Chains A and B, each alone.
Chain A
Amino acid sequence: MASSSSLRTPRAYQRGSWARLFEGLRYGGGIGQWAWLVHRVTGLGILAFLIIHIIDTFLVVAYPAEYDFTVDIYGGVFAGTYYWLLRWAFRFAELGLIACVLFHSVNGVRVVLFDLWPASSDHQKRLFQVAMAVFVLIMIPVTWVVLSALAGPPGHAMP
């Protein structure tokens, strides 16, 4: 990777990371830029979740009792007591996670399309609309399935 230490950094970049962030948001506008931005944000969100998920699933091998303790928290049960708010919070967080993974996947496939067939990038706006249609079509039944489970008791025995 080329180090930039031998070049003078442009003036806009000399003001530091925050300035660069805000400059980036004012780049060119348009749906393609927002798709790129949301792709980045969802990617970071998934990565943050993934780190926690790998560590908690490692408990499956290391400490089985701790694993059950942890997954019970996702069902709203902390240390033996059931908190419906906890269960609801995790359900909505789970829905958000599925939405992030789905958006990142669908937009990622769109990016691969541009890489394999460069001429398709002329239609990037239309392809983004198609991608969003796919996203919405899949999210509707998924949302129903994930949230409707809240209507019943938690999947495990209540204390």
Chain B
Amino acid sequence: MSRHLKPAGGFELAAWYFMRVSGLVLVLLALGHLFITHILHNVETVNYEFVANRWADPKTGVLWRLWDLTMINLAVLHGFNGLRQILDEYVIRRNRRVLVHTLIWCSVIVLTTIGSYAILMFEKDQNYLDQKRAAQGGIVASRSSRTVTDPAGLVSTSSPTP
């Protein structure tokens, strides 16, 4: 390794660091998210009620929302920067590069906006949950094949009625 050359800094260096740092944080956040959703709980029981109870929980709701907020923003940036790196190897002509980079930036802005909005502005729609409970009243709820432990203390049942 030569000690006489300074690395060219700038955007690419920052992006390089970002991929490593965000990648390591995402290992914890994303794998944890997958573990909670698919292993701890049965993913078929994850419905509006499940998410609403988690995000609206008075004690831990803020923490779940922060987890999801961090995860979604880091994942979108990490993923789309990766996409940018890949496409930069194949898209050479100037006009095409402008188009591709514009699309990437627009996607990043749209996805982080709607994701952050959903997490921060979410309020439990009790009306909808009550309507659903009422509609479900006549149907015997089937128990899932594995015992589900729910920290909020509610077993989620989802009715397929539209």
Contacts and interface: CB of A to CB of B under 8 A. Distances in A.
Interface of A: 1, 3-5, 9, 13, 17, 20-21, 40, 43-44, 46-47, 50-51, 54-55, 57-58, 60-62, 64-65, 67-69, 71-72, 74-75, 77, 79-80, 82, 87, 94, 98, 101-102, 105, 108-109, 111-112, 115, 118, 142, 145-146, 149, 151-159
B1 to A, nearest CB: 7
Interface string B59-101: 0000000000000100110011011001011111010010000
Contacts of A118: 1
B31 A102 contact: yes
A23 B152 CA distance: 54
A44 B111 CA distance: 16
Nearest to A13: B92
Given A3-B94, A80-B162, A146 B38 contact: yes
Interface string B90-118: 11101001000000000100010011011
B31 A101 contact: yes
Interface of A is mostly: helix
Contact of B146 (A62, A80, A149, A157): A149
Nearest to B42: A155
Q: Which 7 A/B pairs are nearest by Cβ-Cβ distance?
A: A152-B145, A155-B44, A156-B158, A155-B45, A75-B44, A47-B79, A77-B160
Interface of B: 1, 11-12, 20, 23-24, 26-27, 30-31, 34, 38-39, 42-48, 51-52, 72, 75-76, 79-80, 82-83, 86, 88-92, 94, 97, 107, 111, 114-115, 117-118, 121-122, 125, 128, 132, 136, 139-142, 144-146, 148, 157-162
Contacts of A75: 44, 158
Contacts of A13: 92
Contact of A54 (B27, B72, B159): B72
B93 to A, nearest CB: 8
A105 B31 contact: yes
